[in-house]
Amino acid sequence: MDKRKIKEQIFEKIIEYYALKKEEERFVPGESKVHFAGRVYDYKEMITMVDAVLDFWLTLGKYDRLFRDAFSKFLDVKHVILVNSGSSANLLAISALKSSQLEHPLKKGEEVITPAATFPTTLSPIIQNNLIPVFVDIELGTYNINAKELESAICEKTRAIFLPHTLGNPNEMDVIMEIAAENNLYVIEDACDALGSKYDGRFLGTFGDFGTFSFYPAHHITMGEGGAIVTNNDSLSSIVHSMRDWGRACTCPECILVKDPNAMCPLRFSYKTEDLPEDYDKRYIYIHEGYNLKPTDIQAALGYEQLKKFPDFMKKRRQNFEILYDEFSKYEDYFILPYSLPKSEPCWFAFPITVRENARFKRRDIVQFLERNNIETRLLFAGNILNQPAYKNIAYRKVGNLANTNKVMKHTFFIGVYPGIGEEEMKYILEKIREFVWRYK
């Protein structure tokens, strides 16, 4: 039997296996967990991943290329660089802005504006790069920075803005990009929760110098673990390639040797530096203090298959959000509902809810009720990150008293809208919300 035939048989068995596995996953109201997020897949992901395993290339190769091409077409962005997590994408974005390859790199002690209600690895790279975070408050309902307040945070030391689009809700990108241009600031969009969201008809992650994405299973598509950094800027893309790959001088978007291991790279022995021997192999010349933050081709294979499903995922997320919004809008006396700015088309990561301070119950009551009934909830990440143990002693500046950020820490939580929440799960969620609210009528 030839290899092709064996492969076909393996794939047929995967389809059988998947069908059996799927049967076990039936939803039983009250007994099965309604997750806030999770993997949504079928046999196609399994087959494509196994195909990558059988190729046994392992490191970034064919599927990296396929994913990057498809992702850059989807987002309409020039460069896509795969990494092993959204956190790594954030680390590379900030680190790249300090590269000596840039004409005006960020310098130690300079400032980066960012919201105080944030995810830890949006903030940590700022600190790890010896930059000073400047914290700005967010608005209740959008859970994003107010653009006017952002402007008031700028001083002569400010060099960049690092903005998460909270739970997929777009920041006011036209105003923010204008402020950045007027003040000569770099913009990094943390779009880890915002794949598929648009502002003014354009995908988030493509406005700033960098956009970052996460492909952890909770996110809009998954690679198991994984992430991407996107940019339209050729030099920033080169710098990120170098830093992702040990800091070496090789910065081609794709190594010629991946396509053809026997090829001769024309650039390998012609890289000139002052202090190294003339014939020094470029693969061992280092222009940055780099990392190795690459994922495997097996992860890329999974992402490639997930991306094909993404148009359906987007629809489902939006539908689920609308259903929850319709239900919760009946109880506005108790809850602050999420909202988006004009020109925004969010592809929500989740449905955020803030319990009003004058409601007859507390966040704890509704969260515990939902959890007891097997409906997963989560808090808005770190809340006011300055209150988290890890960040107690950092150097920072803040603007105002972060009143809303503190409210989020006490009163906000979210539930899921991911495509794994089907009609039955949603019916169950609505029933339970009604049951809870009824107790306080």
Ligand X SMILES: Cc1ncc(COP(=O)(O)O)c(C=O)c1O
Residue 211 found at the interface with ligand X (CB under 6 A): no
Out of 35, 219, 241, 288, pick the active-site residue: 219
Stretch that binds ligand X, among 114-122, 309-317, 352-360, 433-441 (CB under 6 A): 114-122
Question: Residue 227 CB, nearest distance to ligand X (Å)?
Answer: 5
Alpha-helical regions (H) of 101-199: 120-128, 147-152, 173-183
Residue 142 found at the interface with ligand X (CB under 6 A): no
SS3 of 96, please? Answer: helix
| Size of interface with ligand X, in residues (CB under 6 A) | 14
Amino acid at 186: Y
For the question of residue 79 being annotated catalytic, the response is: no
Question: Residue 188 CB, nearest distance to ligand X (Å)?
Answer: 11
| Among 45, 111, 189, 190, contact with ligand X (rule: CB under 6 A) | 190
The DSSP output letter for 170 is P
Helix (H) or strand (E) holding 214: strand 210-214
How far the first Cα of the chain sits from its last, in Å, is 71
Residue 61 found at the interface with ligand X (CB under 6 A): no
Stretch that binds ligand X, among 119-127, 246-254, 284-292, 423-431 (CB under 6 A): 119-127
Using CB positions, name the residue nearest to ligand X: 86
Question: Residue 207 CB, nearest distance to ligand X (Å)?
Answer: 16
Residue 85 found at the interface with ligand X (CB under 6 A): yes
Residue 214 found at the interface with ligand X (CB under 6 A): yes
Helix crossing, 43-55 with 297-328: angle to 10°? 160
Q: Count CB-CB contacts under 10 A for residue 283.
A: 17
| Among 170, 227, 338, 419, contact with ligand X (rule: CB under 6 A) | 227
Rounded to whole angstroms, the Cα distance separating 67 from 72 reads 8
Residue 196 found at the interface with ligand X (CB under 6 A): no
Residue 64 found at the interface with ligand X (CB under 6 A): no
Q: Are 382 and 122 in contact (CB under 8 A)?
A: no
Residue 335 found at the interface with ligand X (CB under 6 A): no
Amino acid at 279: D
Residue 87 found at the interface with ligand X (CB under 6 A): yes
CB-nearer residue toward ligand X: 67 or 119: 119
CB-nearer residue toward ligand X: 87 or 296: 87
CB-nearer residue toward ligand X: 92 or 180: 92
Q: Nearest to residue 83, comparing CAs of 297, 228, 190, 213?
A: 228
Indicate if the alpha-carbon torsion angle 291, 287, 300, 163 is positive or negative: positive
Helix crossing, 86-96 with 120-128: angle to 10°? 30
The DSSP output letter for 264 is P
| Among 172, 193, 245, 425, contact with ligand X (rule: CB under 6 A) | 193
Q: Nearest to residue 116, comparing CAs of 151, 143, 95, 85?
A: 143
Query: Which positions are annotated as active-site residues?
Result: 219
Question: Residues interacting with ligand X, by CB under 6 A?
Answer: 85-87, 90, 119, 121-122, 164, 190, 192-193, 214, 216, 227
